[in-house]
Chain A
Amino acid sequence: MRSLLGRLVDVRAGEGQPAFQAGLTLFLLIGGHTVLETARDALFLAKLAPSRLTLVYGLIAALALLASPLCTALARRFGRRNALIALLLLAAYGTALFNVQPLGVPGVFALYAWSGLLGTLLLLQFWLFASELLTVAQGKRLYGAIAAGGVLGAVAGASSAAALLVRLRVQNLLLLGAACFLLAGLVLTTVWTEPLPVPKRSASASNSGQAGWRGAWQSAYDLFAQQPYVRRLAALVSLSSAALLATDYLFKASVTRHVPGAELGSFFAGYYALLNTASLLAQLFISGPLIRRLGVVPALAVLPALLVVGGGVTLFAGVSLGLVLGLKASDGTFRYSVHRVASELAEMPLSPRVQEQTKAYVDGPLPRVAQALTAGLLLALAAGGLASERIVAALATLLSLGWLWVVLRLSTPYLERLREALAKPAFDLRSWITELDLDSVEAVLEALSSTVPARVLGALDLLTDKGRVRLIPALVLYHEDESVILHALEIFGTSDRDDWLPHSERLLAHSSPAVRAAVLQALLRRGRHVALERGLDDPSPLVRAYALFWTLSLEQASEPLADARLQSLLALAGEPGEQAQLALLSAIRAAPHARWTEVLLALAARDTPQFERLAQAMGEIADARFVPLLLPRLGRREGRGAVREALVRLGDVALEALARAFDDPHTPERVRAHIPRTVSRFRSQAAADLLLDWLDSERPGGLRYKALRGLGRLIAEQRVRVDRERIDRQLRLNLLEYLRMLSLRQPLALRPEVARGGRSLRLVVGLIDDKLEQSLERAFRLLQIRHRHENLRSVYFASRSPERVRRAHALEFLDVLTAPGANSPLGQQVRQLVLLVVDDLSVADRLARASSFVPNQPSSYAATLQALVADHDETLAAFAAYHALEVGSAELAGVVVEALRERPALARASGNATLFPALAGVTHAG
């Protein structure tokens, strides 16, 4: 029985009890309401004509409109579970009261409205409660089973009512209904739910004085104005309610025409019993698998699509009882199963507050309003003699078509809601300054007067970035901080302003050589050569080098290296020599020209200590001869950024050299390790192709990881093509590796504390944990490459969040995201693996479900160690071997000795460091 249930419903550890309690509550709630409806219909139709129903529909709509916001407010104030309990108790009390009152015309009118209102509010509150009890991922698996409780309740309620009516008065059925509500409330008191984090109202909102109905209307208006997704849901709810009512009318009209009046009762009873059974079967066997397979939004399209097709056929082939029964069967089978469950799930990505508001303003009153309007329209058509079955069929089909159209346009907003649910509040970039208004300028100018240098530098940057250099006062050159003066001179020197020139001359005598050099440079850039001769005689080699650079540039010297003054500057040793080289290289970088190429080559040959500046200057001149000088420097930390930049500026010739170096076995590992990231900076299709080739190769994992990161960075910044199938292959590999590592970890983690080898065991488990982390991170990076416009990073974090709702949203997002790619066997496999790895499962459950992907999972501790010793990862194999020896088992020692014979490299584990204390001894022992 248990395994049969397990096959029908995917219930996981810890989920059975809450799902059963929710199902039982819905069973009692719907059962009670069905009994109430039976009594209500009988009492109403005994005293009033059916035409009065349209009035009561209108009344129910108005009451629902008023009561729904109150109910959700109650849920917000006291919690969703408590609100539902309170409502159930009220329902029990109110229903029991109708039993003790003699019911005249106003009484039955009130009873009908009461039952209609309860039908709306109780279901609204129940599904609010269910969305707190279960996440979207759990809902996809369990809502079907819970909703089946409701269908069973309807069947049980109807049959109990029929059976009891043999002995009881109709009005006494109300007591049974009240008892059911009371029981449902009692069951609920045993359920525990984790309240959803609903942010409190902001002080401004709560103090706005918009209390009462005006506030409610404003709130409803805001909801529809600000939430396009909710607008679509509202359209869906309205159109579906109207279409289903029209279909129901068509069904009843057609049955009345074809079935003799005396047989109507038995016909309806038999047909409804059939529909209830079909609905229950759909709930149990179709609903869950269909929603899991198709996804939430496509599942929502099932019922309207059936109604459109059925309606279309009815219209073209002519209205017949068989076709109408078929239409009604679609409604009866799928309305309370697939459609109900998918509708509830479609609201799950909404924030708790918006979800409550949606229940209050959309799910509560809208169906009633739509039904009332449709009923009015049908009444008007009937009054005008136009309510022929063909016209009603046309109306129902048209409404279903509208419903289907709304559903088909829901996929993108649904995904968007999931994205929003996964995103975090962040800085609003719309408020990032693009233009400076007068107030802003005032604030920035004030910052320029600050005594804090960093603040002045920030203000200088801000004005420069916004193209407002003219607003920087020349008096900033009188600032006491050297970094401010240097930055201001750099800005002024590259601007078209001259008003700063008179203030700069005093700086030529500044005590700091850096300032003297900077002012000289700035003046020369503005064509002021007056200070050049003074600079050539400056005591600082820094200033002299700048002056000489500009002198030789102005002279257009074809071979600056032949100049004696330059030779003597370059010949300076120690700090003066470094300063001269720094100045020369900075000047070349600022005013690059091919004449300086030989100077740069000469400095490279001397292994200048200013290699970072040299690389920057090389990048500006971009001569192909620089490539072999720059490339080996990737292996050194100092100046690596500048080297990368220079290589990128050198373009294709550098990219080709990098590709050759990566494949060259003589390239030092330290250099090779930095090639992928360098290649990613090229931002070209050729660079992307290279990185993908390296990623999809047999190279060591570390290098492939670097290629992956590089490719990810490149794709984020540049539009390039990537072969999706190759990415999918990598994805599959990493996800399989994740599951494989998990299968190796489990037997080790389950092992009780041991006297020997505890420390080395922790090391092995730690290494496996690292690998689990790595493979998952890589898989998400690959997914990001596959879906470049999505923010997979936030999904990754959400999937590891301690909050179950965020984890469920991540799973649902990935489910929707990977669905379109699952049209090939590889894509389908990748999708299954992604969902398996991210799904909220215990390790044992995950591994059990992964058995088709990882067939040979070790079941014992010894088997796991044997598998680890044979692992392709040498470090992991070596550490496992070490641990196996520490444990002291003769069998494991034999395995290790054999492994070491076959793979002597294991004894090293990493680099040249020795792992085993007495390898020879171990070999002997074996």
Chain B
Amino acid sequence: MEKFANIELRLNKSAKKGDKESLFSLFSAAERFKHTEVLTNADEGASIKVVLEGLGEVDLKLGDDMEKGQQKTIMTLFWYNEKSKPIEIKRNAEAGESVIVNMWASIR
């Protein structure tokens, strides 16, 4: 796995262990449109492991070819269906809490 991107986002709502949430439900529009730098080239359709540190993780497919150095957002990395995929929450978390989101790409 190669580091694809990382970003720190603030939770829009509280979540409980066992809840099923998604990038849409966890983060407000303002957070979802924060920019992050793409750290490695990756092709459309590549699987990206999105890890919300300590909170949960989900594998999402990239919506387009990405090049190292591009500025992207959660919104422009993934299509609607991917952003809506459920993430099982592993611990209780409070609204307003900062979450480090690390994204990893599989090396071909």
Do A and B come from the same complex? no
